Amino acid sequence: MTDAPSPDVEGVAPPALRDTFGQPWPCPPIVGPDASAGRGEVEAAWLVFLPGAFTPVCTSELTWLAEMAVGFAHTADEGGPRVGVRVISCDAAPVLRRVAEETGAPDELVLLSDFWPHGAAADHYGLLDRQTGRPRRVSVLVDADGVEHGRVTAEPGRARTRTEHETVTEQWSANR
């Protein structure tokens, strides 16, 4: 476990994220602007950084991320831990809305834009590739206090797996 960098270091404001409806979300995006359909408060959230929403690898990941988000919501409904899935990309909010529409993303899968200031959330977690202007393909499990409990990484062009995320989630849940 590691602490996330303090969002108020040297008077720097925490990164601002926007969902597909343009609503602001804090960083880390644990509590959303409403509490409906898994978009509200959770105990922990996967912050899944995507290099580009419409790329083949990222689009393939969105399929199992949607299934995982729905599965986590179902587990919470049965008294298990409340874990959210927050997909973060430097794409603009309208682009992410189009991705959500085209992929049929469920409400439980929250897509967040890290567009402006460009890549601020990715940079906050040390994941912004300054040469490409895109985040690295990394997922970070954080709790409501912003404490990091695990990471899943993949090399450029390679996908992460649902199993890796579920294993880290189970380890966190067993130790909380």
Domain layout of the chain by residue ranges: 2-175
> Are residues 135 and 52 in contact, defined by beta-carbon separation less than 8 angstroms?
no
Q: Please give the CATH topology (third level) of the domain spanning 2-175.
A: Glutaredoxin (3.40.30)
Pick the range with the lowest mean pLDDT from 28-32, 35-39, 66-70, 125-129.
35-39
Strands (E), the chain: 2-3, 17-19, 24-25, 44-50, 83-89, 109-113, 128-129, 134-135, 138-143, 147-153
Q: Give percent of the chain with pLDDT exceeding 70.
A: 88
Report residue 35's pLDDT band, with 50, 70 and 90 as the boundaries. low
Rounded Cα–Cα distance for residues 75 and 124 (Å): 30
Is the pLDDT at 34 greater than 90? The verdict is no
The verdict on whether omega for the bond into residue 106 sits within 30 degrees of 0, i.e. cis, is no
Give the separation between CA 85 and CA 26, rounded to whole angstroms.
Answer: 14
The structure's pTM equals: 0.89
Tens of pLDDT along 96-114?
999 999 999 999 999 999 9
Vertex 90: Cα angle to 95 and 164 (nearest 5): 100
What sign results for the dihedral spanned by CA atoms 166, 162, 62, 149?
Answer: positive
